[in-house]
Structure 1
Amino acid sequence: MRLRTVTALAGALALSLATGCAQQGAAGSGANTVTYWLWDANQLPAYRACAKDFERRNPGLKVKITQMGWADYWTKLTASFIAGTEPDVFTDHIQKFGQFADLKVLEPLDDLGIDDSAYQPGLAANWTGQDGRRYGAPKDWDTIALFYNRQMVKEAGLTAAELNDLSWNPEDGGTFEKAVARLTVDRNGRRGDEKGFDKNNVKVYGLATGGAGDSDGQSTWSPFTASAGWHYTDKARWGSEYRYDDPTFQSVIDWYFGLAKKGYLAPFTDYTDGANPAVAQLASGKAATSLDGAWMISTYYGSKGLKVGTAVTPVGPTGKRATMLNGLADSVTSNARNKEGAKKWVRYLASDACQRTVGGYGIVFPATPEGTRAAVAAYEKKGIDVSAFTEPVTDKKNFTTFSFPVTDYAADVFALMRPAMQDVYANGAPASDLTETNEQINFILGQ
């Protein structure tokens, strides 16, 4: 491994290192075993079922699955690259992909014969590097929608139909802000849209906090910036300049976090980096709604005592609703000890055979249309309507979908934007301060 790669990975590790050292993830890897890492415990049973079928189809080949939490996953994965103990295959995230591809720690997968048209539009194309080669096989996808406490919505005099027909703008917030204000209740029982409302003593916030959104705002501000017509970078993929200095972006950010100043959005102090903070706020009755991703559907609906519903994101100034369409992939490491077996496993993971199995568990939406249909059917059996998440994929007339920004130096962008966005949210700094941060980011990208 080149010195530059080790040095850069060490820098990335320093940014994320919080707990422990790398485990010996490659232990057991060899001619007859493929080591596979993933982070979602909810999906573990589905992938164990896929591994069992894969082993039946490939006698003598075994799959060893290691699951760890999101907070530990990237730290340990990065450390494993440095130590030479990386897994053969791992679940990859588009936000991390750019740096991994640049550092040459991923194996090209062009020989797998991945057909872009076999997956939901755009998912496969996201995993090609600047060299035009493929480094990930489509795994699943997710979108963002508005979860809400049905009882609180009813008590506020609102209906599900109204929540699915909201619009917003950065001037007065539109009907979205009015609904959030209506759902907010202070400790004297006054709602956010009533005279005498005390924004400094709020009992129930109309909107839960999902944090400051860091550099992408996936489940916080991104549905608003996108529906206002803003784009992260100068190009859809592999951009060379970020646009956090854009007046449209900054006006949306000022409006969005201004909801906290009005008492409608839960304060930054209510946010924790722990698991599922927004779910906890809805389940405890501290918030009435939350923007969150499809990967959280089962968690919300499985929360004891919480009767939850979902609504689509609001219409923005562009006349469309917007949501990030994120798709995970499975990648093979360039130093995989069982590269042939690893590629067989990844090709199987991306096939309808495995994706139907995963879809049948009703946890995520697999990347193939057939896998997606299996997931929708599984959710229906559980009595869960997932149309707020699937409509953006099928209704291009009324929805805009977009991806995470894919650029070089993603870890550096995150490291600069995270504290800057927290300053806006927690300390009331104006979004115009992000212009300086944007200059620093673009200076790094220009090197």
Structure 2
Amino acid sequence: MTLTRRATTGLLASVAVSSSLVGCTAKEPLRVWAMGVEGEALGPFAREFERSHPGVTIRVQVLPWSAAHEKLLTAFAADNLPDIIALGNTWVSEFAALNALEPLNDRLKGSAIRFDHFFDGARNSVTLGDRILGVPWYVDTRLLFYRTDLLHQAGFDVPAVTWDRWDAQLAALSRDGRHGLLMPINEYEPLVALCLQSDASLLLDDDTRGGFRQAGIRDAFAYAASLYERGYAARLMHSEVTDYYSAFARGEYAFIITGPWNLGEFSRRLPAALQDKWATAPLPGPNGPGASSAGGVSMCVTRASRDKDLAFSFVEYMCNTQQQAEFYKATGDLPPDRDAWPMAQLMEDERTHAFFDQLTMARPVPKVPEWERIANEMTGALERVIRGQVGLDTALERLDAFAWNVLAKRRTLLARQRSFQKSGAA
């Protein structure tokens, strides 16, 4: 059991959703690839779109998260990408680098999608330079899930909003063999969120080298390491966390950093006696409520699509304000359009309202194809510090060196682009 969304979906079979309308001139089917339970939930929406577009057939193929990335790259290599792909926001830059995605700037003008009403972090995640390469379909971020009763027993009314005050709460909750916080060491999202609370950038110089030795990033790493060193966070890896719902119910942890999919999971898995004893809150920061990462999935039209106008029509249909509210009701996925929240009655629930507050502070991670490799190495560096294998400064120096090597290709490509631009100007 892990705290990531992908682990909660399991392996899902590929399915196709289509309907043919008798007596209509049939277009070539529009192919849509989406992952996980959201892909499965597309079926009824696709059929409704078909009913309002006679002659159109939508074929939705659902990919398991565990195989999706390889499947997409294989399809690109074989020139067999579908018309629309639902991409995790951290993958958008990778497929942009492959020139696989159609810019949507012109199509968004005057469309039913109110792009400027979306959360800033979501919009920024799909905007590379001056190109908008997708439309956010649903969003997620990480914040605190916590036991209100345990916090009250420790003498606190609400979760802290600063690191110092959170330390005091965690110290009071980390006793008798228990830890105040569950934050698996090799889960990079919480560590990245702490780093995003700094004004410093994780990557520097057009994202061509690491910025991990900057003061703000170093402070975030030092704080994360201290949570384990002081016994506030359990020194556990993903594989060692077998059932954190039961552990949370037993009071082994008062805080868990996780995402919106667990709103439903906690409601289903926690005992009835605890349903009024858990809540959510934004992450604390160095000096006040802290930022978190802007995650989620966006719908992207591929350059390979033979009917880009129709493809965008389906994206527009799925991502307009009303439909975002309906998709939340069907799946529990949070809308990227702020205006969809009151429509879906999300502002009336304190647990979801905390996500709204966190999303207003969410920041995108670096938009480079190599980002996930670097983020995973961040947790490796943190683990080595926690285990006492290396000092913090040495770990960050090595992390910068790792990023330098991983980003070598990007530096070469950018250098070529600059050289080409100079020669063209001459």
Map 1:5-404 onto structure 2 (within 5 A): 31-41=27-37, 43-44=38-39, 46-114=41-109, 116-130=115-129, 132-159=130-157, 161=158, 163=159, 165-168=160-163, 174-186=164-176, 202=177, 204-214=178-188, 218=189, 220-234=190-204, 239-269=207-237, 271-272=238-239, 279=245, 281-283=247-249, 285-305=251-271, 306-307=274-275, 308-317=278-287, 319-336=288-305, 339-361=308-330, 363-375=332-344, 377=345, 380=348, 385-393=351-359, 400-404=361-365
1:230 and 1:294, CA in 2 relative to 1: closer, same or farther beyond 3 A? farther
Which digits, 9 at most, give the CA deviation of each residue in 1:32-76, with x for residues without a partner? Answer: 4222222241x3565333223211221222222233443332233
Contact kept, 8 Å, 2:162 with 2:289, in 1: the verdict is: no
Change (3 A) 1:441 1:225: closer
What is the distance in 1 between the residues matched to 2:202 and 2:245? Answer: 28
Structure 1 pair 208–411 and aligned structure 2 pair: CA distance change class (3 A)? closer
> Structure 1: how far apart are the matches of 2:240 and 2:118?
32
| Matches of 1:280 and 1:88, distance apart in 2 | 42
The residue type paired with residue 299 of structure 2 is: D
1:321 aligns to what SS in structure 2? coil
- Return the TM-score normalized by structure 1: 0.74
Alignment CA distance shift 1:278-1:406 (3 Å): farther
TM-superposition CA deviations, 1:319-364 (whole Å, max 9, x none): 4532223353111222235544322211222222421311334612
C-alpha deviation, 1:243, in angstroms: 0.8
- Give the deviation of 1:224 after TM superposition: 3.0
CA contact (8 A) 1:254 1:430 kept: no
Q: Distance in 1 between matches of 2:76 and 2:363?
A: 30
Q: CA deviation at 1:101?
A: 0.5
- In structure 1, list runs of 5 or more residues that go unmatched: 1-22, 169-173, 187-201, 395-399
One-letter identity of the residue aligned with 1:123 = A
Identify if the C-alpha distance between structure 1 residues 44 and 101 changes in structure 2 by more than 3 Å, giving closer, same or farther.
Answer: closer
Cα offset, 1:179, TM superposition: 0.9
Cα separation, partners in 2 of 1:85 and 1:446, compared to 1, 3 Å: closer
- Which structure: greater helix fraction? 2
**TM-score normalized with structure 2 length:** 0.77
Look up the match of 1:198: none
Name the CA distance, whole Å, in 2 between partners of 1:32 and 1:144. 40
Q: How many pairs align?
A: 382
Aligned to 2:6: none
More moved, 307-316 vs 174-183? 307-316
Alignment partner of 1:446 is 2:415: no
Per-residue deviation at 1:206? 0.8
What fraction of aligned residue pairs are identical, expressed as a percent?
A: 20
Cα distance, 1:26–1:414 mapped onto 2, change above 3 Å:
farther
Which sits farther off after the overlay, 258-267 or 434-443?
A: 434-443
Please report the RMSD computed on the Cα atoms of aligned residues, expressed in angstroms: 3.3
Residues 116-125 or 246-255, more deviating: 116-125
Unpaired runs of at least 5, structure 2: 1-12, 20-25, 413-426
